[in-house]
Amino acid sequence: MLGRLQSLGHWALGTFERLGRASTLLLSILAGLPGLLLRPRLLIQQTFSIGVLSLLIIVVSGWFVGMVLGFQLYNTLVDFGADASLGPVIALTLVRELGPVVTALLFAGRAGSALTAEIGLMKATEQLSGMEMMAVDPIKRVLAPRFLGGVISMPLLAAIFSIVGVYGGYFVGVGLLGVDKGSYWAQMQSMVDFHDDVLNGIIKSVVFGVVATWIAVFEGYDAVPTSEGVSRATTRTVVHTSLAVLGLDFVLTALMYGVS
């Protein structure tokens, strides 16, 4: 019993310690962001490897999620004779929830794990130490551009996911199941609000972008510099990001739509 209590205490202390280190790292990264303005090339490079390389999985997943929503929601709605509402229901599901959340989860698996592995390996092979000894601050040179690249990429990826999903649903609903084309778009436009739905979705994806990239960059920078340590850190990135995204999504949804 005492031993269990003790290990619980150890775990709590360790968690707070890591949170503290992660926070100081975030502050140093934020301090390094203005310097990036002078070197846009670094940012472009990272936006490529984080954003552009995630594009394929985002487009394909968005299309399939949209098609599945088309089938599932049509079957439910048609029972109420409300199949004309297919458009708005698909759009609201994607724009409010699935767009930001699924994009963030895919981002954790594709870009987040790659970021952690890359930074962890740079640490394990002493590249980060080497930079420090060359008087180049690795937080500014390595972490800051990756962080900003991730934060920029996430909302763009989420928007692409949502719009591709809407067209995937259109393909199934209008193309295969025979929902009226006009009502698909018209109902969508009258039910989806730019401020309440689209903007809130974008805000969510920006928050997820900050959190997912922060976790990925921190886990890499904080990894035990061995191959085992890096692989553990990579796993932690995916697990922690997924949990953080789902938890934050609940909080944000409650704030945005819960109390009116």
Partner 1 sequence: MQARTLEIWVGLFVAAGFAALFLLAMQVSNLTMVGGGSSYLLKARFENIAGLKVRAPVTVAGVPVGRVTAITYDSDTYQAVVSMRIEAQYNKLPDDTSASVLTSGLVGEKYVGLEPGGDTEMLKNGSVIKLTQSSLVLENLIGKFLFSKASGGGK
Partner 2 sequence: MTTPLVEIRDLHFARGSRPIFDGIDLDIHRGKITAIMGPSGTGKTTLLKLIGGQLRPQSGRVTVDGRNVHTLRHGELYELRKRMGMLFQSGALLTDLDVYENVAFPLREHTDLPEPMIRDLVLMKLEAVGLRGARNLMTNELSGGMARRVALARAIALDPMMIMYDEPFTGQDPISMGVLVKLIRSLNDALGLTSIIVSHDVQETAAISDYIYLLSGGKVVAHGSPEELEHSSSEWAQQFLQGLADGPVPFHYRAVPYADDLLAGRETGGAR
**What is the C-alpha separation between 229 and 220, in angstroms, rounded?**
10
CB of 121 to partner 2, least distance (A): 8
**What is the C-alpha separation between 197 and 2, in angstroms, rounded?**
50
Check residue 137 for interaction with partner 2 (CB under 8 A): yes
**What is the C-alpha separation between 215 and 3, in angstroms, rounded?**
31
CB of 26 to partner 2, least distance (A): 18
Is 217:146 a contact under the CB 8 Å cutoff?
Answer: yes
Q: Choose from partner 2, partner 1, none: what does 133 bind? Cβ within 5-8 Å by kind.
A: partner 2
Check residue 259 for interaction with partner 1 (CB under 8 A): no
Rg, Å, the chain Cα set: 21
Q: Which of 79, 81, 134, 135 contacts partner 1 by CB under 8 A?
A: 81
Check residue 188 for interaction with partner 1 (CB under 8 A): yes
- CB of 2 or CB of 133, closer to partner 2: 133
Is 204:100 a contact under the CB 8 Å cutoff?
Answer: yes
DSSP code, position 175: I
Grouping H, G, I as helix, E, B as strand and the rest as coil, residue 136 is coil
Q: Which of 96, 141, 146, 204 contacts partner 2 by CB under 8 A?
A: 141
- Amino acid letter, 222: D
Q: Choose from partner 1, partner 2, none: what does 134 bind? Cβ within 5-8 Å by kind.
A: partner 2
Residue with tokens 């952690």: 116
- Long-range CB contact pairs, 133-137, < 8 A, 24+: 137/32
Q: Choose from partner 1, partner 2, none: what does 129 bind? Cβ within 5-8 Å by kind.
A: partner 2
Check residue 134 for interaction with partner 2 (CB under 8 A): yes
Q: What are phi and psi of 141, to 5 degrees?
A: -85, -35
Check residue 101 for interaction with partner 1 (CB under 8 A): no
Check residue 37 for interaction with partner 2 (CB under 8 A): no
Cβ-based neighbour number of residue 27 at 10 Å: 10
Check residue 125 for interaction with partner 2 (CB under 8 A): yes
Q: Which of 166, 174, 230, 244 contacts partner 1 by CB under 8 A?
A: 166
CB of 45 to partner 2, least distance (A): 9
Q: Which two three-digit tokens encode residue 118?
A: 């890359």
The number of C-alpha atoms within 13 Å of 55 and in the hemisphere containing its C-beta is 7
Check residue 168 for interaction with partner 1 (CB under 8 A): no
Q: Which of 133, 195, 259, 260 contacts partner 2 by CB under 8 A?
A: 133
**What is the C-alpha separation between 51 and 42, in angstroms, rounded?**
14
Contacting residues toward partner 2, per CB under 8 A: 121-122, 125-127, 129-137, 141
Contacting residues toward partner 1, per CB under 8 A: 41, 44-45, 47-48, 51-52, 55, 80-82, 91, 95, 153, 155-157, 159-160, 162-164, 166, 185, 188-190, 192-198, 201-202, 260
